[in-house]
């Protein structure tokens, strides 16, 4: 491996398996370091294409999303780092494919638990083709002031405190990603900061070793000293011991192997990493520390002694003129995400939507404050749900039963009415369910099913003003307005609409008052003197009875009643009900595999 620097301020990566937070942290680090271009060139999400919106400082940018590794490498030929956030199940296949791409030089495998056999195959291929693997089970690595992988170094606060926004003089390598964050802080307190840091990962077989990176650091002129943090288990540290003994590493190496407490336990202890368990005396932390010290590394007597030893080593190099401390500067502030700033109480932001009928933020969604489980457990029905979501209150059972009756009675009225006809024609044209449904719903209006609101509005106005049926009907006639809720193309005084009879009977039986229905029936009595089909139709019956419901329930103010009628609540009942029937007609036509509809010539009057 050896060679030298892995990353620079121009390095770009391809990110496999989109994760918003790690990518945003990379882009925030870019901004902090003053990079001109984002370090993430593209995202690879198998089966997906398009863009993902993220922030590069104050600017919102669109990062391309590709469906395959090969395509992404072809489009972004200068991106030579592959950051793999795949699960341990698919990490091998995606990592191997990336290694085989000529443009990819470094592969970072984040997943823990990659099968050891698969890891060995990746390592063998990488070594044979002069490529670098960081991981598996790694947080990644960082080039201070230039480039970082994923979540390396943690939060922006830790990055700033650790002076990682500009390069220092120390090379650092560790097995642990979590402890890397701690060491970055320690090194920033005792030196001018790190130049490069790598967490090789805690699995038994890391893709690159501690000594691989220390030997690289030997070849990087900007790195003047090296800090190594190992751990018990495995024999990786002994390859560094040999390199020190052979004189391949001449820069000062401050090292510590964690896990000295393992000897206090009577049986073998498995620490956090898969490789962090001692398989014999040579794999113990004490044996490794002794071997490193004997080979010339600077090793403290405990972890607590590591910080002062790093400081002493750095100070000596400064005094010897080997290190000229890198001057510090204040990095630019990274703009906070709005959600973070709001949570911290730093800004106030107006909401874009107001909702008063439901809340889905808790463990269980609520309708007007009532939990869904309560509705089910108390044996409530669709009428109760409508009363909560439409009227924001629990109406009495006779009211919700009336709502359900309206839905049942208005669900369908045969295939010949205009709404059903439109839906049938659309369904037979091969259109989908939503298109077929909407074609029927768009027919609803003043002439078809949309008269409930108007009927309620006009009946209420006339009744409240004390107009006689004669005065009301004749006034409407003078205005050229049909009386809403009166008249039917088929039904008549001799052939009553059964739906109207059922609703009429229910209102008389259960409603405390049917003042508006009584007025509508008086209007019908007068209109029948003009024509036998000018009967109270289902729209008029529902409209008048709904007025009676609103008034007699004593649960609505006069202003609320006027608003309900004006907004169009009552027509909402017809729309909701007829949706059931229109869906049924759509399914019926598709089930019957009916062909495209063409209206017959003989049913058209062709004229000039």
What are the Cα distances from residue 516, in Å, to 294, 338, 451, 507, 534? Answer: 102, 53, 16, 11, 18
- Angle between helix 418-428 and helix 433-441 axes, rounded to 10 deg: 150
- Under the phi-then-psi rule, with left for phi > 0, alpha for psi from -120 to 50, and beta for the rest, what region is 500? alpha
Q: Which of 40, 45, 49 is nearest to 17 (CA)?
A: 45
**What backbone torsions phi and psi does residue 491 show, to the nearest 5 degrees?**
-75, 155
Q: Which of 66, 76, 213, 273 is catalytic?
A: 273
Residue 123 contacts residue 100 (beta carbons within 8 Å)? no
**Is residue 601 classed as helix, strand or coil in its secondary structure?**
helix
Residue 239 contacts residue 26 (beta carbons within 8 Å)? no
Kindly provide the residue ranges of all beta strands, DSSP E only, lying in 45-109, ordered along the sequence.
50-56, 59-66, 81-84, 106-109
Residue 97 contacts residue 71 (beta carbons within 8 Å)? no
For tokens 């199940």, the residue is 89
**Is residue 149 classed as helix, strand or coil in its secondary structure?**
coil
Distance separating alpha carbons of residues 85 and 80, to the nearest angstrom:
16
254 contacts: CB under 8 Å, gap ≥ 6: 225, 226, 227, 228, 297, 298, 299, 306, 309, 310, 313
Kind and range of the H or E element at 197?
strand 194-199
Residue 421 annotated to the active site: no
For tokens 């993220």, the residue is 54
Question: Does 146 sit behind a cis peptide bond, omega within 30 degrees of 0 on the bond before it?
Answer: no
- Angle between helix 433-441 and helix 569-591 axes, rounded to 10 deg: 140
Distance separating alpha carbons of residues 87 and 110, to the nearest angstrom:
8
Distance separating alpha carbons of residues 449 and 602, to the nearest angstrom:
29
**Is residue 334 classed as helix, strand or coil in its secondary structure?**
coil
Kind and range of the H or E element at 69?
helix 69-75
- Angle between helix 538-552 and helix 515-527 axes, rounded to 10 deg: 150
Q: Which of 168, 162, 204 is nearest to 184 (CA)?
A: 162
What are the Cα distances from residue 170, in Å, to 118, 187, 188, 405, 442? Answer: 33, 8, 10, 79, 71
105's tokens: 């030089």
Q: Please, is 595 exposed, middle or buried when counting C-beta atoms within 10 Å of its C-beta (0-12, 13-18, 19+)?
A: exposed
**Which sign, positive or negative, has the C-alpha torsion 584, 586, 591, 597?**
positive
Residue 539 contacts residue 503 (beta carbons within 8 Å)? no
**What backbone torsions phi and psi does residue 393 show, to the nearest 5 degrees?**
-160, 160
Active site residues: 273
């Amino acid at each position: 491996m050896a060679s030298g620097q892995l990353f620079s301020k121009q390095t770009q990566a391809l990110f496999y398996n989109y994760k918003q937070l790690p990518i945003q942290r990379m882009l925030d680090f870019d901004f902090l370091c003053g990079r001109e271009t984002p370090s993430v060139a593209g995202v690879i999400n198998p089966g997906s294409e398009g863009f993902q919106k993220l922030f590069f400082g104050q600017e919102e940018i669109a990062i391309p999303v590709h469906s395959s590794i090969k395509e992404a490498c072809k489009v972004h030929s200068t991106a030579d780092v592959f950051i793999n956030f795949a699960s341990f199940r698919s990490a091998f296949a995606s990592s191997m494919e990336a290694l085989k791409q000529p443009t990819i030089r470094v592969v970072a495998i984040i997943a823990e638990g990659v099968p050891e056999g698969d890891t060995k195959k990746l390592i063998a291929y990488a070594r044979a083709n002069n490529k670098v693997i960081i991981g598996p089970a790694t947080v990644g690595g960082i080039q201070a002031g230039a480039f970082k992988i994923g979540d390396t170094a943690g939060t922006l606060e830790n990055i700033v405190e650790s002076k990682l926004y500009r390069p220092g003089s120390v090379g650092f390598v560790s097995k642990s990603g979590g402890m890397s964050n701690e060491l970055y802080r320690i090194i920033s307190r005792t030196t001018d900061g790190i130049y490069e840091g790598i967490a090789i990962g805690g699995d038994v077989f890391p893709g690159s070793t501690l000594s691989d990176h220390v030997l690289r650091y030997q070849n990087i002129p900007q790195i003047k000293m090296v800090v190594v943090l190992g751990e018990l288990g495995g024999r990786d540290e002994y390859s560094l011991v040999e390199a020190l003994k052979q004189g391949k590493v001449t820069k000062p190496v401050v090292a510590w192997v964690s896990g000295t407490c393992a000897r206090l336990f009577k049986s073998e202890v498995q620490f956090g990493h898969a490789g962090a368990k001692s398989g014999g005396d040579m794999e113990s932390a004490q044996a490794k520390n002794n071997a490193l010290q004997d080979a010339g590394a600077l090793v403290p007597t405990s972890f607590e002694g590591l910080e002062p030893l790093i400081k002493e080593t750095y100070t000596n190099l400064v005094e010897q003129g080997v290190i000229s401390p890198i001057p510090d500067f204040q990095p630019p502030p990274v703009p906070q995400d709005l959600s973070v700033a709001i949570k911290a109480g730093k800004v106030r932001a107006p909401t874009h939507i107001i909702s008063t009928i439901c809340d889905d933020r808790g463990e269980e969604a609520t309708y007007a404050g009532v939990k869904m489980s309560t509705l089910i457990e108390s044996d409530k029905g669709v009428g109760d749900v409508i009363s909560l979501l439409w009227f924001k209150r629990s109406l009495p059972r006779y009211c919700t039963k009336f709502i359900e009756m309206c839905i049942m009675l208005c669900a369908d009225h045969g295939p010949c009415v205009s709404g059903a006809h439109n839906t049938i024609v659309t369904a037979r044209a091969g259109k989908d369910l939503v298109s077929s449904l909407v074609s029927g719903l768009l027919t609803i209006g003043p002439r078809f099913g949309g008269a409930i609101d108007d009927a309620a509005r006009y009946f209420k106005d006339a009744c409240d003003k004390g107009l006689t049926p004669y005065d009301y009907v004749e006034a409407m006639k003078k205005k050229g307005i049909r009386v809403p809720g009166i008249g039917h193309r088929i039904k008549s005084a001799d052939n009553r609409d059964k739906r109207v009879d059922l609703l009429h009977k229910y209102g008389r039986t259960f409603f405390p008052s049917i003042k508006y229905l009584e007025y509508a029936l008086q209007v019908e009595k007068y209109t029948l003197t003009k024509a036998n089909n000018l009967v109270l139709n289902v729209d008029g019956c529902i409209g008048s009875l709904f007025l009676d419901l609103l008034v007699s329930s004593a649960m609505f103010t006069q202003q609320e009643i006027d608003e309900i009628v004006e907004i169009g609540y009552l027509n909402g009942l017809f729309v909701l009900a007829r949706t059931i029937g229109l869906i049924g007609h759509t399914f019926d036509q598709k089930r019957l595999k009916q062909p495209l509809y063409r209206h017959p010539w003989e049913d058209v009057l062709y004229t000039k």
